[in-house]
Structure 1
Amino acid sequence: MSVSLFPNEARKKCVGFKRLPEPFISKHSSHSRAFLLFLISLALSCLSGCTPITRQAILVPMPTPACIQDIALLPQNAAAYLNPSTSGKELIPYHLSKLLFEKFKENHFAPWHRKEPLYSKDVVSRGRQHLEYKNIYGENTLPRDKEWLYALDRMTAMESYPNTHRWAIAITNSNLRVLPTTRPAFYDFGSAGEGYPFDHLQISAVWGGTPLFISHTSADGSWLIAETPFASGWIPVSDIAYVDEPFIKEYETNRLAALIKDEIPISDHASRFRFMGKVGSVFPIVAAKEGAFEILIPAADWNRNAILLRGNLSRERATEMPLAATPENIASLINELLRKPYGWGGLYENRDCSSTMKDLFTPFGIWLPRSSPRQAREGFFIPLQGLELREKEKTIIRNAVPFLTLLWMPGHIGLYIGEDRGRALIFHSTWGIKTKDSVGREGRKIIGETVITTLQPGIELPDILLPGGNLLYRIAGMTLLTPEGSAQDLNAKREKQKWMNTQSPGN
């Protein structure tokens, strides 16, 4: 199907408008005269002190690149893909759901159950090593000199790693960084897949209330290396508070509330705003009230020791974990995350592909690691490499459990939500589709958000880069987040082990 076949409603979504100053829009043929008058008036304004000229702005249609047909034509509503006869059926039996929740709590609170760092000096320094032989650029798109890096190296005081052994908790939403700075390090802005938003100092966002183990302090004391339940990196000291055993005992409860709405203000009983709650945020439950949960909220005292405040979360915004993993409930959470901006490594408190999956399944008490390769190993993995594209898609539709199957490819992951007229559908957060122009330069058709597509979004684009720009070609396997005993292909167990033996951890 070509873009010209779009229905009128879909085509309207693809028409962009840009406000232009009136002098650029002429009703007459003498465009040059109007443009010359505009330049003269602009020059006179500068000569008189650069007072801006206020002109009426009007809307004019501007040519735009071809739309992604999947996004324009497919309902961006996960409920549209539910089977009414099974939408309320629990995909995971109750007793197994409880076991998964126990595993979730074990992983979530793990930083408070260690006395030594989990990560070695080589591991925590690995991201820095990748920058040594790269040309890196700042937020102004200009190159950074090596002294900028070396100054940060000196501040890390890594020769004394680990110099700290303390438990802590995030008291606000924060970030894990490769080096102790909020400043970015981009690669070449002129190359596809580099530049914005790929800040190579960003590791992951960390939501408020996350348990931490602090293993190292910077030379000036303003930054710490924090081990979270899912990753390790530098975090500002202002974003954490130190905890002790009595705090842990009170906070680490069996009853946890998870947000099912995104961007929810978390405030204490004194109506003091603490931080913005996100889907994926977890809080201990003190009491269950009619229509609400009373929760514990971490904060810091004047000496940066953690204290506990209390607040309320309505049942419309939060659920007691684990929420029943029904297609209907999962679809509701998907809709909460749909059309959210893409965020590399959680940049600007947005989500990338793997953090979207992780946060999506948190309310259900299903623990997922932070990186896509590790997420692919969490359930029953069925390899799909080597299959012809049509057979690969048929295999997915035949074997995948809608709303409970991850589709993985190197560098990306998403959730299978069903099929539409023989086409498998995926919910995922993606930056864009690889393209290549007539002279061989690679580029990206930007999507930049969380969407529902087929496995071949953008296949209609005349400049799509094939085969690399085709998700279906890149898909290497699918992971059923269900008990292994429910899978029918016994040979897949051996294939899964072979695949795992050939993989190395990555983002």
Structure 2
Amino acid sequence: MKNRTKTVALGALIILMLGVPASFPPKRSTSALRYVLPEMRRPDFWIARLPEPDRVIMSPGEIAAFNKEIIANLPDTVYDLTLYPSSLTGGKLARLITERAFPQKDLYHDGRRLDPAYFENLRQEMNLTGIKQENPVGYGFTVKRTDIRTFPTTDMVTGKPEDREFDLFQETAVDPAEPVLVLHTSSGGEWYFVQIYNYRGWMPASHVAVAARREEWLDYLRAPSFLVVSGSKLRLGYNPCSPELSELEFSMGAKIPLADKREIPEAVDNQSPHGNYVVKLPVRRPDGGLAFKPALVPLGSDVSTGYLPYTRANIIRQAFKMQGERYGWGGMFKSRDCSAFVLDTYRSFGFKLPRNADEQEASAGKTVSFQGEGERRRGQVIKGLVPGTTLHLPGHVMLYLGESKGRYYVIHAISACGDPKKKNADGSLRRIPLNGVVVTDLSLHRVSNGKTLLESLTVAKQVEK
């Protein structure tokens, strides 16, 4: 081997000395993404293939009607918060708080296995003894980006001692100015059990401002003029005058009410509002009550006045704005998982999708099933789908982009794929980390069972009537 290496090196040196360009065989890529060409990582590649990229698929009124269908399909998951009961019976509230049972398997925090006393402390903090026969609902808004947790704790709890990426108690991230219903308070008063339009769980009480009157809550919720974050994220500027508003961060699709012209002062926190949108944001008073303050969003920000037009081109553009960002289970790392990626793309147009992938699969829309279909038939079905269709498989969801040279491409937030050449003893595949929003084809293998994404598809869902 050493002699062969010297011979190759000597030959290359002679070629260079003679001025003849050396030609070596290209190195074959072993990447899981080897079928994704550089041009496929650009939205225009896919938009150019559409017959009517800018045709409006559904009007705002049709989207509002579609949202009602979502609620009808998933009445215990997605809510019109304005129609939520003003109080809950003790039995109903107890069922909501305890619907997620304590796990029976071994769990870890900071590498240490959790003992029964840990869960008993959580149970005490849930304040089940504080539930009354009738429990009034409070009305509030989040005042910063926050989280909904399975149980009232910020502890990162994992299934393996060494895990630092999957917090099993993390349910979802929530933007500032999100309407919440306060259903219950923990024993120590540091946590609220809340309901947002598509999720419920425990949220830090200090991250919520509670309205004194429901009407005040409704007025802000129904603000007629608002911005929608059309970029992947929006971060407000540093604000030394109102630190509670300084560098607040919103995700794509977040709705931010605009201040009424009569509410705009000559200076907002000692800065001229010229060259800015002036928005109205909820803040928390010292007593936990709700107040509002104006804030500035530069006109050059990636935002829209009202929701974006619902077109195929806009679906693809919105999705690609998140490409390359880190995968974040349940919104960890200020990022997104697979279903949040889909949700944020579609809420840019005003859709109120469920939060989780299986719930999105059961939501409204045109549904195509892959159950019982072989690989060839699956390919034929996919060819008939429109770009922007959501593709579902157990525990995962993707956005369909299109077909190229017999391969079917998607963009999705994915943590890992499997290496089909390296199997573990339990039949699973060696994990290849991706941990990001990426364009792939459907030949990727799943870690758990070795099947390809194409083989694993259960349902395709077109988000339209």
Post-superposition offset of 1:95: 5.0
Asked whether the equivalents of residues 112 and 213 of structure 1 are also in contact (C-alpha less than 8 Å), the reply is: no
2:440 to 444, 453, 459: 453
User: Residues 389-443 of structure 1, C-alpha deviation per residue, up to 9 Å, x if partnerless?
Assistant: 1210221111x1212x111112111111222123221111111113574552434
5+ residue gaps in structure 2? 1-23, 73-77, 262-272
1:295 matched to 2:279: yes
Equivalent residue for 2:154?
Answer: 182
SS across alignment from 2:379: helix
2:46–2:402 Cα contact (<8 Å) kept: yes
Secondary structure of the residue aligned to 1:337 is coil
Aligned partner of residue 122 in structure 1, secondary structure: helix
Deviation at 1:102, TM superposition (A): 8.1
After superposition, residues 41-190 of structure 1 pair within 5 angstroms as: 66-70=31-35, 75-83=40-48, 85-93=51-59, 96-97=62-63, 99-100=65-66, 110=81, 113-117=84-88, 120-127=93-100, 129-131=101-103, 133-138=104-109, 140-161=110-131, 165-189=137-161
The residue number in structure 2 matching 1:238 is 206
- 1:339 maps to which of 302, 314, 324: 324
Is residue 339–residue 397 contact of structure 2 (8 Å, CA) maintained in 1? yes
Any gaps of 5 or more consecutive residues in structure 1? 12-64, 459-463, 484-507
Question: Are 2:173 and 1:202 equivalent residues in the alignment?
Answer: no
Conserved 8 A contact 2:141-2:180: yes
Distance in 2 between the 1:69 and 1:120 partners? 51
Distance change >3 Å, CA 110–CA 454, structure 1 → 2: same
Counterpart mapping for 1:376-387 below 5 A: 376=361, 377-387=363-373
1:246 and 1:6 map into 2 onto residues whose CA distance is 72
Q: 75-84 vs 374-383, which deviates more?
A: 75-84
User: Alpha carbons of 1:216 and 1:111: their partners in 2 closer, same or farther (altered >3 Å)?
Assistant: farther
Q: Would you say the 8 A contact 1:223–1:234 is kept in 2?
A: yes
Question: What is the number of equivalent residue pairs in this alignment?
Answer: 411
**2:400 is aligned with 1:431:** no
> Where in structure 2 are the equivalents of 1:260-339 lying within 5 Å?
260-266=230-236, 272-273=245-246, 275-286=248-259, 293-313=277-297, 314=299, 316-339=301-324
| Corresponding position of 2:401 | 417
Where 1:416 maps in the other structure, the secondary structure is strand
Q: After the TM superposition, which of the residue ranges 319-328 and 102-111 deviates more from structure 2? A: 102-111
- CA separation of 1:210 and 1:438: change in aligned 2, threshold 3 A: closer
Distance 1:255 1:422, change over 3 A: farther
Q: Mean Cα displacement is larger for which, 318-327 or 297-306?
A: 318-327
Q: Distance in 1 between matches of 2:144 and 2:314?
A: 27
Measured after TM superposition, the shift of residue 94 of structure 1 is: 6.1
1:6 shift after superposition = 10
Structure 1 equivalent of residue 216 of structure 2: 247
Deviation at 1:472, TM superposition (A): 0.8
The superposition leaves residues 10-43 of structure 1 with CA deviations (integer Å, 9 ceiling, x where unpaired) of 96xxxxxxxxxxxxxxxxxxxxxxxxxxxxxxxx
> Which segment drifts farther, 319-328 or 232-241?
319-328
Check whether the contact 2:69–2:364 (CA below 8 A) recurs between aligned residues.
no
**Paired AA for residue 367 in structure 2:** F
Letter in 2 for 1:367: K
CA distance, structure 2, for counterparts of residue 438 and residue 109 of structure 1: 47
Give the direction of change, closer, same or farther, for the CA distance of 1:247–1:103 in structure 2 (3 Å limit): farther
1:224 aligns with 2:197: no
**Does the CA contact (< 8 Å) of 1:103 and 1:367 recur in 2?**
no
Post-superposition shift, 1:473?
0.9
**Distance in 1 between the 2:260 and 2:40 partners?**
39
In the alignment, the residues of structure 2 paired with residue 159 and residue 6 of structure 1 have an alpha-carbon distance, to the nearest angstrom, of 73
Deviation at 1:177, TM superposition (A): 0.8
Match of 1:257 in 2: 227
1:373 equivalenced with 2:358 (yes/no): yes
For 2:336, the equivalent position in structure 1 comes to 351
- The verdict on how the C-alpha distance between 1:117 and 1:284 changes in structure 2, with shifts beyond 3 A counting, is farther
SS in 2 for 1:365: coil
Offset of 1:385 from its aligned partner?
0.9
Offset from partner CA, 1:114-158 (integer Å, 9 cap, x none): 31349642343233x241x211111x3221222122112111112
Letter in 2 for 1:278: S
Q: 1:94 to 1:159 in 2, by over 3 A?
A: closer
Contact 1:242 1:304 in 2 (8 A): yes
2:310 partner SS? coil
Q: Percent identity?
A: 19
- Residue 184 of structure 1 deviates from its aligned partner by 1.6
Structure 1 pair 478/269, CA: closer, same or farther in 2 (3 Å)?
Answer: farther
Secondary structure of the residue that 1:261 maps to in structure 2?
A: coil
Alpha-carbon distance change, 70 to 222 in structure 1, aligned in 2, over 3 angstroms: farther
Aligned partners of 1:415, 1:6: CA distance in 2, in Å?
Answer: 36
Over 3 Å counting, the alpha-carbon distance change for 1:301 and 1:396 in structure 2 is same
Displacement after TM superposition at 1:227 (Å): 0.8
Q: Could you state the TM-score of these two structures normalised by the residue count of structure 2?
A: 0.79
Q: How large is the RMSD of aligned CA atoms in angstroms?
A: 3.2
**Per-residue deviation, 1:387:** 0.7
Secondary structure of the residue aligned to 1:286 is coil
1:238 & 1:187 partners in 2: Cα distance? Answer: 29
Q: 1:234 to 1:108 in 2, by over 3 A?
A: same
| SS of aligned partner of 1:264 | strand
